[in-house]
Amino acid sequence: MTRKWLSGIVLWLLVMSLVACAGTPTAAPTSPALNVTDALGREVHLSAPPQRIIVSGRANFMLSNALYLFPNMPSRVVALTKASQQAADFLLLLDPEAQNKTRFASDAAAEDIAAAGPDLVLLKSYMRDSVGVTLEQLSIPVIYLDLETPEQYQRDLQTLGQALGAPERATELWAYYQEILDRVAQGTQGLTDAQKPRVLLLQYSATGNEIAFKVPPEKWIQTTLVTLAGGEPVWREAAQGGGWTVVTLEQIAAWNPDQIYIIYYSGSAAEIVTQLQADPQWAELAAVRAGQLIPFAADYYSWDQPDTRWGLGLLWLAQHIQPERFADVDMEAEVHRFFEDLYGLDRAVIDANIMPLIELK
């Protein structure tokens, strides 16, 4: 009896010790509610950091590329907008499951977006009237972003950081862009007007047999990048509208800039430059004769846009507009830094998928 009693005591003590080690069950931690002010000055209430995010509407790649700068997005993005093949290829580097996620057309109706069950929808600000208001009426949180200028990038990254519960990451991201802005400002400090080359930036477009060249508005980021990089945009007076303005070859010849940069969103800008160099009319331009007809740098996306790559575009442009002042810029190293630090891509992935697309002339 004594042995059995002792054995029972030992067993009881063992069970109690295991219970003590396990501890008292605790309730799952609750995420704090968030109040976020978006680009339209609206206060958006989120009951918790969103876990079912949808990126929709036009110019959506600017939103998705900014969104994927933050960690853990592949598990939180449930639907995206259909994109061109190149854009889709880049997205797969960031989110291998993207091809299996719901894809909307850029003009998808609010009801279709709502059916996917989002707890947050991201839209460009100008999409509010066409689709955003209806989503708001359906009690779906919508955050509107601009992401068009450096100043808006700073604000909108902070907005994303707050909404995603990652404000520290937003601060890190903006520090990257601010460092580039500071480097370029220091490099161009003290430039006189005479030291600033006259620059023309042209978007090439082709619809059927109709070819057009366009200049960006004065307030768009393309004009800002040229100015920050130490150049003088020759097209300012011709670009006072709200979008790209078509210009003629006669007007280009009248400007006769020192440098011409070609942008081609639908293909290779380098191929367009080669074609123009063989054109007798273009061959008469001073920039062409001086070897200053230059394709704007690009990988999956052109670097002139208000995409996350605008910092790369600014550095690359500064090196071309003011080569003596930015001779120490190593663009290949900058490309690796951008995709490694901001997107967390491995160097081998960058070298295999991104570097072959870039012509760092």
Phi and psi at 346, nearest 5°, equal -70, 150
pTM above 0.85, yes or no: yes
The angle at the Cα of 124, spanning 102 to 182, to the nearest 5 degrees, equals 115
Instruction: Specify the DSSP element, H or E, that contains 46.
Output: strand 43-46
- How far apart are alpha carbons 329 and 318 in whole angstroms? 9
Strands (E), 82-197: 102-104, 120-124, 142-145
Angle between helices 167-188 and 150-163 (to 10 degrees): 170
Look up residue 125 and give its two tokens: 């600000």
Q: Return the closest-CA partner of residue 288 out of 232, 249, 327, 245.
A: 249
Distance CA 103, CA 130 (A): 19
Q: Tokens standing for 315?
A: 């550095």
Give pLDDT, residue 31. 61
Instruction: Give the bridge partners for 170, in sequence order.
Output: none
- Name beta bridge partners: 92: none
Sheet of 53-55: strands edge to edge?
102-104, 77-81, 53-55, 120-124, 142-145
Q: What is the pLDDT of residue 30?
A: 53
Q: What string of pLDDT tens digits covers the 361 residues of the chain? A: 444 333 333 333 332 332 233 333 333 345 678 999 999 999 999 999 999 999 999 988 999 999 999 999 999 999 999 877 678 899 999 999 998 999 999 899 999 999 999 999 999 999 999 999 999 999 999 999 999 999 999 999 999 999 999 999 999 999 999 999 999 999 999 999 999 999 999 999 998 888 999 999 999 999 999 999 999 999 998 887 789 999 999 999 999 999 999 999 999 999 999 999 999 999 999 999 999 999 999 999 999 999 999 999 999 999 999 999 999 999 999 999 999 999 999 999 999 999 999 987 6
Task: Give the three-state DSSP class for 138.
Answer: coil
Element (DSSP H or E) covering residue 149: none
Task: Pick 193-357's CATH classification: 3.40.50.11820, 3.40.50.1980, 3.30.2020.10, 3.30.43.10.
Answer: 3.40.50.1980
Domain with CATH 3.40.50.1980 in the chain: 34-165, 193-357
Amino acid, single-letter form, for residue 158: Q
Architecture of domain 34-165: 3-Layer(aba) Sandwich (3.40)
- What tokens appear for 59 in the block? 């110019």
